[in-house]
Structure 1
Amino acid sequence: MSEPHLHESHPQVVARLKRALGHLRSVIEMIESGKPCVDVAQQLYAVEKAVAQAKRALIQDHVDHCLEDAAGTQGREQRRSLDEFKAITKYL
């Protein structure tokens, strides 16, 4: 069995996902109770944003820590490539 792979950001990622789960439960209830589509769409948007923010935080944390550690012993060219990769992940 492998060891747990935890980062400092994981509790914040979990909190975002739990918030998204709460929104999603609300959306299901709204649909089941016949709420207006505009209201449902607004809540779905909130779910989508919460999940996207959690994904972005997780990926950026991985780049900042896991890939950073791996590149620490690499040469200047690999360092430049990693810096470019880190910069582009901000657009996820």
Structure 2
Amino acid sequence: MTLNSADMAPVINRLRRAQGQIGGVIRLIEEGRDCKDVVTQLAAVNRALDRAGFAIVSSGLKECLTSPEGIQPEDQAAMEKLFLTLA
């Protein structure tokens, strides 16, 4: 199953923000900043990546559900596996 590129624009934006946040985490560590600051930023990156992953799974589910053939058992299994990978 392929992703709809129009649906992925917000996901790409979220991933670009996470990429910037990761750069910020690296800078914090290099500057010897407080542990709390580093962990707070890592948590923010983690949430952004989780949300991007769930948005991708959601898009895949929509594709399956709107398919004229309906959701195929192999697609259902694949989507379940992807979902559990993020959980």
Which interval holds the TM-score relative to the shorter structure?
A: 0.7 to 0.9
Unaligned runs of 5+ in 2: none
Higher CA-based Rg: 1
**TM-score, normalising length: structure 2:** 0.73
Superposition pairs of residues 18-57 of structure 1, within 5 angstroms? 18-57=16-55
Unaligned runs of 5+ in 1: none
List, as ranges, runs of 4+ consecutive aligned residues in structure 1 with deviation greater than 4 Å: none
Larger RCO of the pair (alpha carbons < 8 Å, separation 6+) = 2
**TM-score, normalising length: structure 1:** 0.69
Question: What is the percentage of aligned positions where both structures have the same residue?
Answer: 29
| Aligned-pair Cα RMSD in Å | 2.7
Matched residues, number: 77
